[in-house]
Structure 1
Amino acid sequence: LFNLVKKGIKNIKNIEVVICPPFTYLSSIKYQVSSIKLGSQDVFYEEKGAYTGEVSPRMLKNLGCQYVILGHSERRIHLGETDEMINKKVKATLKKGLKVILCVGDKSRKSKEDIKEVAFQLKKDLKGIKKSDFKNLIITYEPIWAISTMAGRVATPKDAKEGAEFIQKTLIKSFGFKTAKKIRILYGGSITSKNARDFIYKGKMDGLLIGQASLDPKEFIKIVKSLSS
């Protein structure tokens, strides 16, 4: 899968591509990355200790990782990951000099009040983070109401734009305009080669966190190429 993607996008220069495989594949991919950057799907917040099965930020850095996805909706929903746990992971990851891709999202969009859940997540997840670390922080808007298998509707670029604008306003209010502007905002959820450009250009997003489509190398390559043209 990785080799197919690497070959398919080797001539694309103007897009940053980060691959985040399961832990078990990190070591084998480490020596193959070139223009593609390597990331992890999770991390533990302690550097050492009796935590059987966990992977620390130091381990990830030694494997060549530059990015770590934290707070993904699947971990929040299925594994009971709390904002307090995510906050510890964010701090530990940034402390090690790795870049954080923090996922936040609202469970419903039935009223204008529902999106405020994102503000609560940001407040808890970023508690105690130094402003100097914000250059290594990326936020992904991941609307649970649209990406769940039980979702009633699919999010539009307009929905993504509203989510991104709310995130930016929340960050400006909490950390100031100058600091907030350093943070890139991505959209994550039901991305395909047919809608990727719309989410970037109509949704005014800085990038995309691609889920299901990333498991299909041909589709993933199409997405990357659609954004480079």
Structure 2
Amino acid sequence: MDKKILVANWKMNPQTAREARVLFDAMINVGRLKNIETVICPPYPFLPIFGSPKSIKLGGQDIFWEPQGAFTGEISGKMLKNLGCEYVILGHSERRQFLGETDETVNLKLKMALKENLTPIFCIGEREGEEMSDIVENQLKQGLADIGKNQIEKIVIAYEPVWAISTGVQAKPCLPDDALSAAVFIRKILTGLFGKYLGGKIRIIYGGSVDSGNAAGYLKQTQMVGVLVGGASLDPQEFSKIANSLNNLA
């Protein structure tokens, strides 16, 4: 059985290295669960303090599309690799909203992540009032443009409807039926782009107000293989409950 994927996106939290270390240490046991792969994506300054953990994978929250150079404030894929990262979140809605990220720049970053042998967690999803199919199809087709068939299987697609993200003003959880509809549609687009075999193998996970009460339900009812957790990943007890609920799935 393939492992479920549990991704913790700490975003711009916590505020000190000591707090980050305490939070990370409280999650170590989660990494020992045999049926899940746990990925923690902290702010960049905290990556060096975690060393090379054996039971938990490290990830970055973004990279730049060039390998090096005069790009103030950016971080390269190679830098993340040298800090022990195996994953990187790309295209998150908060970066699209606040930092002007586009499907075209996400595409460049995906290509760089693959070049540096990082596993991209490619975030897609619609805003309140937008048509899911139109937005998601466009994000997939533009974001995955010119990605080779020999590379596509490495990418993890994270469906995270913006209106469901826990930090939103009017956030509300996505119903499993709606998440299922999105998963089926995403699979249809992927199959059209990369063929039935590869399109069926690309991993899809869910994000948006994930907690211990709904995490397992998304996987059982949508055939997704994991979750991307935001706010709840800053609470070690809640994160542990989420992890155990996924680990116990058949």
> Shorter-normalised TM-score: what interval?
over 0.9
Q: Which residue of 2 aligns with 1:224?
A: 243
Pick the aligned partner of 1:145 from 163, 170, 194.
163
Q: Which residue of 2 aligns with 1:76?
A: 96
Answer yes or no: is 1:125 the counterpart of 2:146.
Answer: no
Distance in 2 (CA, whole Å) between partners of 1:42 and 1:11 is 26
Q: Which 4+ runs in 1 deviate beyond 6 A?
A: none
Distance in 2 (CA, whole Å) between partners of 1:194 and 1:142 is 17
Structural RMSD (CA): 1.5
Distance in 1 (CA, whole Å) between partners of 2:154 and 2:196 is 16
Change (3 A) 1:213 1:153: closer
Q: Which residue of 1 aligns with 2:152?
A: 134
Contact 1:14/1:228 (<8 A) preserved: yes
- Offset, 1:9: 2.1
Q: Which residue of 1 aligns with 2:105?
A: 85
- Offset, 1:180: 1.1
How do residues 2-81 of structure 1 correspond to structure 2 at under 5 angstroms?
2-6=24-28, 8-9=29-30, 11-31=32-52, 33-81=53-101
| TM-score normalised to structure 1 length | 0.93
User: Quick one: which amino acid aligns to residue 80 of structure 1?
Assistant: G
- Offset, 1:11: 4.2
Secondary structure, counterpart of 2:201 in structure 1: coil
User: Quick one: which amino acid aligns to residue 221 of structure 2?
Assistant: K
Once the two structures are superposed, residues 123-167 of structure 1 have per-residue CA deviations (whole angstroms, 9 ceiling, x without a partner) of 111111111111210000011133262437431111111111111
Secondary structure, counterpart of 1:9 in structure 2: helix
Secondary structure, counterpart of 2:205 in structure 1: strand
User: Quick one: which amino acid aligns to residue 72 of structure 1?
Assistant: H
Secondary structure, counterpart of 2:158 in structure 1: strand
Change (3 A) 1:224 1:152: closer
Distance in 1 (CA, whole Å) between partners of 2:88 and 2:234 is 18
User: Quick one: which amino acid aligns to residue 177 of structure 2?
Assistant: K
- Offset, 1:37: 0.7
Q: Which residue of 1 aligns with 2:187?
A: 168
Contact 2:31/2:37 (<8 A) preserved: no
Identity %: 49
Once the two structures are superposed, residues 64-103 of structure 1 have per-residue CA deviations (whole angstroms, 9 ceiling, x without a partner) of 1100000001111111111111111000010111111000
Q: Which residue of 1 aligns with 2:3?
A: none
Unaligned runs of 5+ in 2: 1-22
User: Quick one: which amino acid aligns to residue 144 of structure 1?
Assistant: V
How do residues 81-120 of structure 1 correspond to structure 2 at under 5 angstroms?
81-108=101-128, 113-120=131-138
- Offset, 1:109: 5.5
- Offset, 1:182: 2.3
Distance in 1 (CA, whole Å) between partners of 2:30 and 2:164 is 29
User: Quick one: which amino acid aligns to residue 36 of structure 1?
Assistant: I
| TM-score normalised to structure 2 length | 0.86
User: Quick one: which amino acid aligns to residue 47 of structure 1?
Assistant: P
User: Quick one: which amino acid aligns to residue 56 of structure 1?
Assistant: S
Number of paired residues?
225
- Offset, 1:114: 3.9
Secondary structure, counterpart of 1:132 in structure 2: coil
Q: Whose RCO is larger (CA < 8 A, sep 6+)? A: 2
Unaligned runs of 5+ in 1: none
